[in-house]
Amino acid sequence: MLMTKEPAIQSRCAEEDIDLVRLLFVTQSGAVRAQTVDTAKLDEAIENGTTVSQLIQMYNAVGRRNKDGHLTTVGEVRLRPDPDTFRALPYAERTGVMFCNIQTLDGNPWTIDARSSLRSFSRTLESKGLSPRVSFESEFHLFERNPEGGDQTIGSPGAYLTESTRETHGTILRAIDALEEQDVVVEKYHPEYAPGKHEIVTGHQFGLRAADEHVLVRETVDSVARSDGYRATFLPRPFDNATNGCHLHVSLWDGETNQFYDSGDGSLSRIGKQFIAGVLEHAPALTALAAPTANSYARLRPQNGAAGYVCWGQENREALVRVPALKAGDQSGNSLRLEFRGADNAVNPYLCLLGLLGAGYDGVDRGLEVPEPLSVDPGNLTAEERSKKCVERLPRTLGQALDELESDDVLRDVLGDALFETYVQVKRSHWRQFAYDSAQSWEMEHLRSVY
């Protein structure tokens, strides 16, 4: 019988007939991992944690280990479930879930754990009256697997197209119902331009919870799609002429006051502008955290429904940082926020959000001046016009972005040396493997007839 010291968890497991609990964590590669414990062992897991090899953090996105990395086959850490995150999983029979912080064997926070690092940095911001409030927009594609090749997307092309909404209504409805059963507020859903592409927008949450909910969206959408005979992919560029982004909406709060809102003139405040200035200054390095795979850069291009240039603008959807219009009737400024458009769903959401907050806070801390907002599509400007406006191109490859990250001392300080170095090692492994494998396949396919 379950004897956990968390009576609410004990009651829910008994009432909802939960026998298994998945202990979730996210690696440097952005992959969601889990250990599963029987509820009879849940008390022990909450109290003492459950061990896992530290080596799992050194595997890249395709599951290959960086053998030159500083984490080896020797060494374990502990997954410590966070009781506040317990939920029943409506799509998995008799199963619950909890998010984990990772600790060393002596009970200290593991400096390589991005969730623990985000929690610590969020608390630092809260102590300064700058509590982060965040929402994720998650784009994904529904498709059918074809054993003979040529996976087929499900739905008609066209943004907001009602036909596409109708074609996959049942699956989307079940996914939204499952999210809301997990206390994830779904504010908006709509089909996107490419066939089979959809977007779910979750409600704003303070700090860590927003990143946790993003993981729940990924897990839930994929699980529900599989139960309906489909597959879901959040890959940045999953098919030709198709992309998936992950836009982050961020504001900073002091109690009930939105620090990004200037009540005097009803617009973006000084702190908001400084935050944007920090994001723009660190944008090339931040891209390595926000667009973390080689595939990401097939999406992150000008005039491709994603940001290609380092700039910001009011309601400008081709800018890296967009300031959306206030909601109708908002007299308090509570809806004022910035939207960071350079991220995709291959991210470790804790790490990406940590980097974004760290970059923005550097702008606030140093009192950086924001450039003039851009009111046009930067892709329509000439190179000379962009140069005059100091609008630079974002990194074009993961390799370039990693070069920028390694030279950014502010982001290194925000992440801490151990997390910073581990992430770079894993992503360098990813980039080397992509360069080697793609060069071989591309040469064989394209140069065979030339030589």
Q: Is 389 exposed, middle or buried (0-12, 13-18, 19+ CB in 10 A)?
A: middle
pLDDT at 436: 78
pTM of the model: 0.94
More confident residue, 40 or 72: 40
pLDDT in tens, 265-306: 889 999 999 999 999 999 999 999 999 999 999 999 999 888
pLDDT at 2: 42
Whether domain 8-108 has CATH 3.10.20.70: yes
Residue 449 has pLDDT above 70, yes or no: no
Q: State the amino acid at position 345 in one-letter form.
A: N
Band the pLDDT of 445: cuts 50, 70, 90.
low
Residue 1 has pLDDT above 50, yes or no: no
Helix, strand, coil proportions of the chain in percent (round to 5)? 40, 20, 40
**What are the two backbone dihedrals, phi and then psi, of residue 329, each rounded to the nearest 5 degrees?**
80, 5
pLDDT at 444: 67
Q: State the amino acid at position 72 in one-letter form.
A: T
Concatenated DSSP letters for 338-375?
EEE-S--TTS-HHHHHHHHHHHHHHHHHHTPPPPPPP-
Distance of CA 363 to the CA centre of its chain: 22
Judge whether 246 and 137 are in contact, CB under 8 Å.
Answer: yes
Judge whether 191 and 197 are in contact, CB under 8 Å.
Answer: yes
- The radius of gyration computed from the CA coordinates of the chain, to the nearest angstrom, equals 22
Residue 147 has pLDDT above 90, yes or no: no
Residue 447 has pLDDT above 70, yes or no: no
Band the pLDDT of 157: cuts 50, 70, 90.
confident
Q: Mean pLDDT over residues 380-394, rounded?
A: 94
Tally DSSP H helices, then E strands, for the chain.
14, 21
Strands 131-144 and 231-233 come out as antiparallel
Provide the percentage of residues in the chain whose pLDDT is more than 70: 96
pLDDT in tens, 322-375: 999 888 888 888 999 999 999 999 999 999 999 999 999 999 999 999 999 999
Q: Mean pLDDT over residues 162-179, rounded?
A: 92
pLDDT in tens, 23-46: 999 999 999 999 999 999 999 999
Residue 92 has pLDDT above 80, yes or no: yes
pLDDT at 359: 98
pLDDT at 435: 82
pLDDT at 439: 66
CATH 3.10.20.70 intervals, the chain = 8-108
End-to-end CA distance of the chain: 71
Q: How far apart are CA 399 and CA 406, in angstroms?
A: 11
CATH 3.30.590.10 intervals, the chain = 120-415
Indicate the CATH number for domain 120-415: 3.30.590.10
Band the pLDDT of 443: cuts 50, 70, 90.
low
| pLDDT averaged over every residue in the chain | 92
pLDDT at 433: 87
Residue 13 has pLDDT above 70, yes or no: yes
